[in-house]
Amino acid sequence: MTSIWKIKIILLAVILAVTTMAGIQLYRHRHFQVPFLAGPGVTKVVSLSDYAKGLKGTMADTYVFFLEGKKEGGKALILGNTHSNEPAALLSSLIFLENAVMDKGTLIIIPQFNNSGSRSTRPGDGYPLYFDISTPWGKKTFRMGNRDASPVDQWPDPDVYIHYPDRMLLSFLDVRNTNRTWPGRADGPLMEQVTFGAMEIMKHENVDIAIDIHGAETMFPVTNCIVAPDKSMRIATMTSLIIKAKEGFESHVEPSPSKFRGLSHREIGDYCDTLPFLLEAPLPFLDQPTGPKTVDLLLDGKDPFLLSLSKKKKLFVPYDENGWPMANRVGQHCSVILELIRQYSRKKPDRAIKIQNVPRYADVIKNGVGFYFQDPLKKDKKNIYYN
């Protein structure tokens, strides 16, 4: 055997070893199950495929939890992980799922809205595969996902995505982005079916308000805010003013642009009676000029480059040595959601929604996010839903 062949065989063995090791890690990540614990308020659990049949048996199908109060009232829908690389959304919706008790009205929660995206990675962007949240009973591990659905579940992409029904041209990647495929179609690409399923829930259940939770870069102007169309603007403005006055944090209001199609805050309001709101909390991990993309950066949001840019006034949010920790982001979402619902209930007393037992901003900062997660080992198995 010549030396060149020996080198080729050694290189082939190295490639096989590296590929196998990586393949196992990526396979485990895609199939890793996170326990969602149905709290005392949960009265019914269904699948999104019950509203969009095409999702049945696919990785895009996901759980829909109903928390129904004894008294009739309005209905609110919470969407978490529309973008699965913005994990404060999932954590906030799980706090509602595991703790909320309804006095009046109904809360519908879809914690993992883009389930396919949560089982995917973001090639080229060097994300960690998992992150842990400390709890009083140990660590709870979550998958770190991607903004878009996995190409394993929806492929190929078109050369350009033509939005349904407005025909606006969007990036080819947006065909897998569940915040560009609203209002969706029953027989469209898989992610259009996901948003179609959510629209069906809103129409069939007469949902009054829908809240889509996100995270955004500190260098992005639309961050730390509530995005709302005209019809939701009054409630959003009142919420912003009240939380600033009572809880001391900023969440300004941004108008939903009428010509930018496919977004939840635009299409939900245009295609059904539900009032949509999109929440953005700062997420330094997503910024481009940061150090390594580590779990620490994801959780505490501390970065020296961003700190320096903040001093040069190039960020859109206040930023200091404390970074922007996960507890602040999750706490902010919890408070804004509770206040949006309260404001809506004040405006429409006959459709009021009353929720108990959900922590607010100061509580989450004081106790940490994990404090509000229950131990799966101490929970009746029938109340655990693996996703």
Partner 1 sequence: MVLAYTVAKWRKLSVETSMLSAAVTGGLAGAFIRTPPIGELARHLVEGSFTYLDVILVFTTATIFMAIVSESGGIDYVVRGTIKYFYNFRLIVLLLLMFIILIPGALTGAGSVSILVVGAPVALAFGYLGISKRRAAAILFIVAGLSAAAPPVNIWAMILSAGTAIPYVGFELPLGIPVLILGTFTVLVLGWKRESSRDKESVLKDMPEVPGSMTWWKVLLPFLTFFGLISVYRIWPFSFPILGLSLQFVIAAIVALLVSPKRINILVLSRDTIKRLLPLLTTMIIVGMLQQIMTATGVRGLLSYAVISTPLILLFFLLALIIPFSEGVLTYGGAAIIGIPLIWFLDSIGFHATIAIAGLSLLWPLGDGLPPTALIGRLSVMVSKYEGSYWRFLRTTWLPWIVITLTGILMIIFSSKLEFLVRWSM
Nearer to partner 1, 71 or 314 (CB): 314
| Distance in Å, CB of 293 to partner 1, minimum | 6
| The one among 50, 68, 103, 157 contacting partner 1 by CB under 8 A | 157
- Best CA proximity match to 310, nearest among 320, 322, 298, 299: 320
Q: Does 70 bind partner 1 (CB under 8 A)?
A: no
- Best CA proximity match to 96, nearest among 293, 360, 273: 360
**What are the tokens at 297?**
């950066």
Q: Does 255 bind partner 1 (CB under 8 A)?
A: no
- Best CA proximity match to 231, nearest among 252, 211, 251, 256: 256
| Distance in Å, CB of 328 to partner 1, minimum | 22
Q: Does 125 bind partner 1 (CB under 8 A)?
A: yes
Bridge partners (DSSP) of residue 107 are 67, 76
Q: Where are the alpha helices (DSSP H) in the chain?
A: 3-31, 88-99, 115-118, 190-204, 233-247, 264-271, 295-300, 304-311, 326-347, 361-367
| Distance in Å, CB of 33 to partner 1, minimum | 20
Nearer to partner 1, 129 or 384 (CB): 129
Length reported for the chain: 387
For 203-216, give the DSSP string. Answer: HHTT-SEEEEEEEE
Q: Does 186 bind partner 1 (CB under 8 A)?
A: no
Residue listed under structure tokens 């041209």 = 169
| The one among 101, 129, 241, 242 contacting partner 1 by CB under 8 A | 129
Nearer to partner 1, 261 or 360 (CB): 261
113 and 357 Cβ atoms separated by less than 8 Å: no
Q: Does 259 bind partner 1 (CB under 8 A)?
A: yes
- Residues sharing a CB contact under 8 Å with residue 376, sequence separation 6 or more, in sequence order: 35, 37, 384
Encoded one letter per residue, x for contact with partner 1 by CB under 8 A and - for no contact, window 3-42 reads --------------xxx-xxx-xx----------------
Region of 57-65, 172-180, 245-253, 371-379 interacting with partner 1 (CB under 8 A): 172-180
CA-to-CA distance for 233 and 255, rounded, in angstroms? 8
Q: Does 318 bind partner 1 (CB under 8 A)?
A: no
Q: Where are the alpha helices (DSSP H) in 32-87?
A: none
CA-to-CA distance for 291 and 267, rounded, in angstroms? 36
Nearer to partner 1, 9 or 22 (CB): 22
Residues making contact with partner 1 (CB under 8 A): 17-19, 21-23, 25-26, 121, 123-126, 128-129, 155-160, 162, 164-165, 167-175, 177, 185, 188-189, 217, 219-222, 257, 259-261, 287-294, 305, 308-309, 312, 314, 316
